[in-house]
Amino acid sequence: MRETLAPFAGILERKINPILAALQALPDDVDRLAKPTPPTFPYGFPLDQLGIPSIPPQPAPAQPETPPTPPEPPRYLRPPGAVPFADFDRLCTTCYKCVEVCPAHAIQIDQYDLVAGLRPFIIAATQPCVLCDALACMKECPTHALRTVDHRKIQMGTARVNLDLCLRETGEDCRICLDTCPIRSPETDPAHPGAGDALFIHQPTGRIRVRRNACIGCGLCEHRCPTQPAAIIVEPYRSPEDPIIA
Ligand code: SF4
Ligand code: SF4
Ligand code: SF4
- pLDDT per residue as tens digits for the range 118-136: 999 999 999 999 999 999 9
CB distance 83 to ligand 3 below 6 Å: no
Find the ligand nearest to 104 CA. Answer: 2
Find the ligand nearest to 102 CA. Answer: 2
Exposure string for 186-208, b = 16+ CB within 10 A, e = fewer: eeeeeeeeeebbbbbeeeeeeeb
Distance 227 CA to ligand 2 centre (A): 25
Whether the predicted model's global pTM rises above the 0.85 cut: no
CB distance 221 to ligand 3 below 6 Å: yes
Distance of alpha carbon 154 from alpha carbon 149, whole angstroms: 7
End-to-end CA distance of the chain: 128
Residue 243 has pLDDT above 60, yes or no: no
Distance 125 CA to ligand 1 centre (A): 22
Average pLDDT over residues 161-177: 96
Cα–Cα nearest to 180, from 232, 235, 116: 232
Helix boundaries (H) for the chain: 2-5, 9-34, 85-91, 97-101, 136-140, 176-180, 220-224
Mean pLDDT of the chain: 83
- Return the pLDDT at 225: 97
- Return the pLDDT at 69: 78
